[in-house]
Amino acid sequence: MATRVPGPLTRPSEAATGPVATVDGLTRRFGERTVLDRLDLEIGRGEFIALLGRSGSGKSTLLRALAGLDSEAEGGLSVTGSVAVAFQEPRLVPWKRVHANITLGLAVPDPKEKADAALAEVGLTERAGAWPLTLSGGEAQRASLARALVREPDLLLLDEPFSALDALTRITIHQLVLQLWSVHRPAVLLVTHDVDEALLLADRVLVLDRGRIAHESDVPAPRPRHRDHPDLTSLRTTLLAALGVSPEGTT
């Protein structure tokens, strides 16, 4: 496993504690198909990881296993500490208003204030009292993200949480996630299809292919990052190659 190059926000205490999640030879089969094939992965405390991979490569499957939702995965898997998930689909509970979705199962003394703050952060204050079915795709996704962020977990699993957002909102939410990450320091596993997004946010970028981590790169650039940073440009080419895409074909 590659050693992580700490970003400027890393606190010294973090290096001392063990990983928040360890995946050791995890295998998941659906009938004849092997989606995860003896996969190894270690997620350090406070580490921001981006997970890339083609559609159907098993990213969501891995996240489900890490979230403790998959009882049929074989192999070693240990997660220490609390986990929060933003699923690929928003999965809001339709019969609970948005704010009640945010506070669902939230065991803090002041859930209401927390929810309000989280909703303000994702720009949904006005929709706090709305029924989930009346939200737009992007609004629902932001509500789902707020529900995960408000929990301040040790491990935050985000499954393509920005896919339904427009470019401008996306930039705002990127900043928000980075900011929350720098304050509470959860470990983040972010699934994305966007190489630039991965390079912009993560300490480490993984590519999932054929059931394994086929490629991994540390992202050494300090934050805030600009996508034209020379280190990132070469990494982008490498990652796109790992994904089987030639750089000319994109952007």
Partner 1 sequence: MSVLELDTPVRAEPHPGARIRRRRLPGKAWQRWISPLVLVLAWQIASTTGLLPTRLLAAPSTIAATAVDLVQAGTLPTAIAVSLQRVLIGFTAGAIAGVGLALVAGLSRKGENAVDPIMQMLRALPFFGLIPLFILWFGIGEAPKVLLVALAVSFPLYLNTFAGIRGVDGKLAEVARTVGLGRTQLIRHIVLPGALPQTLVGLRQSLGVAWLALIVAEQVNANAGLGYMINDAREFLRTDVIVVGLLVYSALGLLTDALVRLLERRALTWRREFLAR
Q: 157-170 burial string, b = 16+ CB within 10 Å, else e?
A: bbbbbbebbeeebb
Residue 111 has, within 13 A of its CA and on its CB side, a CA count of 12
Of 46, 37, 123, which is closest to residue 75 (Cα–Cα)?
A: 37
Number of residues that bind ligand ATP (CB under 6 A): 11
CA distance to 25, 116, 204, 210, 249, per residue, from 62 (Å): 12, 31, 17, 13, 28
Residue 57 interaction partner, one of partner 1, Mg ion, ligand ATP, none, beta carbon < 5-8 Å per kind: ligand ATP
Residue selected from 18, 25, 56, 68 as contacting partner 1 according to rule CB under 8 A:
68
Q: Indicate whether 59 belongs to the interface with ligand ATP (CB under 6 A).
A: yes
User: Is the CB of residue 161 less than 8 Å from the CB of residue 62?
Assistant: no
Please report, in angstroms and rounded to a whole number, the separation of the first and last CA atoms in the chain. 31
Alpha-carbon distance of 144 to 98, in angstroms, equals 9
Q: Indicate whether 85 belongs to the interface with ligand ATP (CB under 6 A).
A: no
Q: Indicate whether 206 belongs to the interface with partner 1 (CB under 8 A).
A: no
User: Which residue's CB atom is positioned nearest to Mg ion?
Assistant: 60
Residue selected from 10, 88, 237, 238 as contacting ligand ATP according to rule CB under 6 A:
88
Residue 58 interaction partner, one of Mg ion, ligand ATP, partner 1, none, beta carbon < 5-8 Å per kind: ligand ATP
Q: Indicate whether 163 belongs to the interface with partner 1 (CB under 8 A).
A: no
Q: Indicate whether 50 belongs to the interface with ligand ATP (CB under 6 A).
A: no
Residue selected from 79, 84, 115, 165 as contacting partner 1 according to rule CB under 8 A:
84
Residue closer to ligand ATP, measured from CB, 116 or 196: 196
Q: Indicate whether 35 belongs to the interface with ligand ATP (CB under 6 A).
A: yes
Alpha-carbon distance of 8 to 3, in angstroms, equals 16
